[in-house]
Structure 1
Amino acid sequence: MAAEHDTTLEVELKMLDAGIEPPSYAHPGDAGADLRARVDVALAPGERALVPTGVSLALPFGYVALIHPRSGLATKHGLTVVNAPGTVDAGYRGEIAVTLLNTDANTPIELKRGDRIAQMVIQKVETARFVPVDELPDSVRGAGGFGSTGGFAPAAAAHRG
């Protein structure tokens, strides 16, 4: 049996609302800690809202908090994070708020204070030093982008039997 590794990072947390649960992981090994709504919010189809979480952090330099949609809310209700993943930089000390969007074309969604609305993933990041050059080195991909590698089978390549 492999030895367990302690990958716990201490992050200073300030709860701005004593009535909201702090971020927490639902299961051991989960990457995302749940964030909760600090207020009730109703989103009509196609509507978005900035929802406060009652959480502020002091991330260590070299780390970022990425805010992701919760998969169950996305699948069952069409609720997503507009700028997914949202980025919380190490120097930010304000309240984390999540811009939610109801993508369902017909059904409104109501969120109550304390509902889990998003997941926060803490990751180590590198800071780049950008070096101007006249030419970039070649690569296999080159300048191809925006669907240049395909992704859908051509209609003629459908079942041949």
Structure 2
Amino acid sequence: MSSPLPPIEIRLKRLPHGRGLPAPAYATAHAAGMDVVSAEDVILAPGGRHAVATGFAMAIPEGYEVQVRPRSGLALKHGISLPNTPGTIDADYRGELKVILINLGEEPFVIARGDRIAQLVAAPVQAARFAEVEELDETVRGAGGFGSTGVRAR
């Protein structure tokens, strides 16, 4: 992958049921996400959810996370998505990566071992702290909530 930043190293531990599967990898030179594959066969019924095994665990460097995102082709063609997108894998998690998939389509969806099911994006984490105050600064939007800026472009 070509990037202005040097790649970080994410250590990957292959689990017994993940042997023979490809490691997460970029499909093209400018891809932002690495494709990850299923380590199991699953039939996902319409409306169904399943934590799909990937067959590996990883050690993400401190100060980073790995985001799990849907694959656009699966979402458009079959209604397959992630109910918690993007999912976050924290740097201190060492268990198997499982991808929670949901079938928002109308037909059962078959996932075979080795099928690409999601994308992984490594991202830096910015720590934050909350400072309790009596008042907040004013903005044009103010307290306007969902839909308050309208639908049409201005």
TM-score over 0.5 (shorter chain) = yes
Specify the alignment match of 1:46 in structure 2.
Answer: 47
Question: 1:53 is paired with a residue of what secondary structure?
Answer: strand
- In 1, Cα distance between the equivalents of 2:5 and 2:136? 40
Deviations 1:15-62 (A, max 9, x none): 212222110110112110011111000011111111111121111111
- In 1, Cα distance between the equivalents of 2:44 and 2:4? 42
Aligned-residue offset at 1:7: 2.9
The alignment yields a C-alpha RMSD, in angstroms, of 1.7
Specify the alignment match of 1:87 in structure 2.
Answer: 88
Specify the alignment match of 2:101 in structure 1.
Answer: 100
- In 1, Cα distance between the equivalents of 2:98 and 2:142? 38
- In 2, Cα distance between the equivalents of 1:109 and 1:69? 15
How many residue pairs get matched?
150
Aligned runs of 1:1-150 on 2, under 5 Å? 5-16=4-15, 17-105=18-106, 107-150=107-150
- In 2, Cα distance between the equivalents of 1:34 and 1:92? 20
Runs of at least 4 residues off by over 2 Å: 4-7
Larger relative strand fraction: 2
Unaligned runs of 5+ in 2: none
Deviations 1:127-160 (A, max 9, x none): 002111121222222111211111158xxxxxxx
Report the residue type matching 1:124 in the other structure: P
Specify the alignment match of 1:156 in structure 2.
Answer: none
Aligned-residue offset at 1:63: 0.8
- In 2, Cα distance between the equivalents of 1:7 and 1:26? 18
- In 1, Cα distance between the equivalents of 2:30 and 2:125? 20
- In 1, Cα distance between the equivalents of 2:27 and 2:96? 22
- In 2, Cα distance between the equivalents of 1:100 and 1:116? 12
How much identity, in percent, do the aligned residues show?
50
* Residue range with higher mean Cα deviation, 10-19 or 85-94: 10-19
Aligned-residue offset at 1:113: 0.5
- In 2, Cα distance between the equivalents of 1:139 and 1:62? 32
Aligned-residue offset at 1:6: 4.7
